[in-house]
A and B are shown apart, each in its own frame.
Chain A
Amino acid sequence: MKHIKKTDSVLRRAMNNVSGFWRASASETLYRHLKKDIRKKEDLFLALCFGDLLGLPIPTYITLKLLPHLISELPDWRRRFSRKRSKLWEAFEEFNKEF
């Protein structure tokens, strides 16, 4: 019984090491993907907040309220957004010449 217990704990430790290894190597990729996903979601969030520029009937009062928080992100957002040449950006360019 004791013997089995010992083998069990050795096995467990080995497994832990293996999973630790995998976690370390995978986390790098994972984090990179995560960062990309965050940026993607944030871009969409900003597009929603500035929905008035696209003709979405979002109450502009919300935009006004959030603007002071979003101002710092706007320049980067515009750069990223324009680089993508998405349909959304085309619409932006079409409707907002000065943006």
Chain B
Amino acid sequence: MKFLFGGKGGVGKTTISATFALMLAKTRPTLLVSSDPAHSLADIFGQPIGSSEKKITLPAQFKGELRVLELDVQKSLERYKETTRQKLANLNINFDFDFDKYIDKLSATPGAYENALFDQFADLLLSDRDDRLVFDTAPTGETLHLIQSADLIDQWIEIIISAREGVLKLKKLYNGSADDAIIDELREMKSKFQGVAKMLRQPQTHLIFVLTPEKLAVEETRRSLETLQKSRFPVRGLIVNRILPEDVSAATPFLKHQKKYLQAIRQKWQNLILGEIPWWRDEPEGLSQLIPFAENLRRTKLGNFVK
């Protein structure tokens, strides 16, 4: 099963996805992935996490295990540059063209970063590992862009594939062979982009939005749901986070606002709500705080995922 958490910045996506992953880890091996360029999983777990899977040491009552990973596009780009440079050096050709500069230019163009991130994200999403995957995505805009950029790049890949097929048709006439590394690469790209679109629509993939009962979060969630509906990506649930308790006297006006928006959320998306998470007195940070917080999650409908 795969879970993707999205939502406006600052609504508690990272906290919710971290605790949710922790909840799943109680019974099954779980991988938590941050695809937000501004990673904050390290802050939540109170320990450094890098671009390779890191195992979190869990208390004895956990039967599964939790691995955490922060996707790092910059690092993979550096690796790519190194291998390409090496390839060029091996060819030993005299060609006065500054490839480093060209690669830098290519990777700095709009979209390249999203595409590279999408590539890593796709590799994980499409891998047939049997542990549960939890994605902590970037704030709404970027996540939507990430998903939609797949459609755009797909059209271009189609054009380039047909151009390459034109070359290969003649080449086959010429020397009978139809093997081509370029068309293989292109087809692999295409199947990856299509695979993600397909995977996101499958019932075992859960696209879940986190929001708080506040105007801006509600409005942004509404827009995101509409956009995703239009591109036929089903949102499987909502988590309403940071609901104030009834007894905060000092925050009464704020409480009133929250209640209003909470009512609105309940009315509008009654069937989608998976959990309503109360305000947590301390900042959930480090395992000692996260584990009791995860209990919170388990008491809501989200608990069904561990059964």
> Which residues of A are in contact with B by a Cβ distance under 8 Å?
31, 34-35, 37-38, 41-42, 44-45, 48-49, 52, 58-72, 74-75, 78, 98-99
List CB contacts (< 8 Å) of B197-244 with chain A. Answer: none
Residue of A nearest to B81 (CB): A64
Q: Is the CB of B106 within 8 A of A72?
A: no
Closest-by-CB residue of A relative to B94 is A75
User: When the two chains form their complex, are residues B160 and A49 in contact, meaning their CB atoms are under 8 A apart?
Assistant: yes
Cβ-defined partner of B103 (8 Å) among A48, A67, A75: A67
Which applies to chain A's interface (DSSP): helix, strand, loop or mixed? helix
Q: A27 CA to B160 CA in the complex, in Å?
A: 30
Contact flag A48-B163 (CB < 8 Å), given A68-B83, A72-B91: yes
- Between-chain CB contacts (< 8 Å), 19 pairs: A38-B170, A45-B163, A48-B160, A58-B160, A59-B152, A60-B109, A60-B111, A61-B111, A61-B153, A62-B153, A62-B157, A64-B107, A66-B182, A68-B83, A68-B84, A69-B181, A69-B182, A71-B84, A74-B95
In the complex, chain B residues whose CB is within 8 Å of the CB of A44: 163
Q: Which residues of B contact A66 (CB under 8 A)?
A: 182, 185-186
Q: Are A45 and B167 in contact (CB under 8 A)?
A: yes
- In the bound complex, CA of A7 to CA of B144 (Å): 76
**A41–B174 Cα gap in the complex (Å)?**
13
Tell me the complex Cα distance, A35–B187, Å: 25
Give the interface residue-count category, chain B: 35 or more
CB within 8 Å of A: which B129-150 residues: none
- Give complex CA distance A87, B98 in Å: 24
A64 near B80 with CB under 8 A, answer yes
The answer to whether A74 and B97 have CB atoms under 8 Å apart is: yes
| A62, B154: Cα distance in complex, Å | 10
Asked if A61 and B97 make an inter-chain contact with CB atoms under 8 angstroms apart, the answer reads no
Q: Counting chain B CB atoms within 10 Å of each CB, which of A34, A64, A72 scores highest?
A: A64
User: In the complex the two chains form, is A38's CB within 8 Å of B174's CB?
Assistant: yes
Q: A38-B174, A52-B106 are in contact. List 16 more A-B contacts (CB 8 A).
A: A34-B174, A37-B170, A41-B166, A44-B163, A45-B160, A48-B159, A52-B109, A59-B115, A61-B111, A62-B186, A62-B189, A65-B185, A69-B182, A70-B182, A75-B93, A75-B94
- The answer to whether A60 and B112 touch across the interface, beta carbons within 8 angstroms, is yes
Across the interface, name the chain A residue whose C-beta is closest to B189. A65
Contacting residues, chain A, for B112 (C-beta < 8 A): 59-61, 64
Q: Roughly how many angstroms separate A43 CA and B157 CA in the complex, as a whole number?
A: 18
Give the residue of A41, A60, A62 whose beta carbon is less than 8 angstroms from that of B170: A41
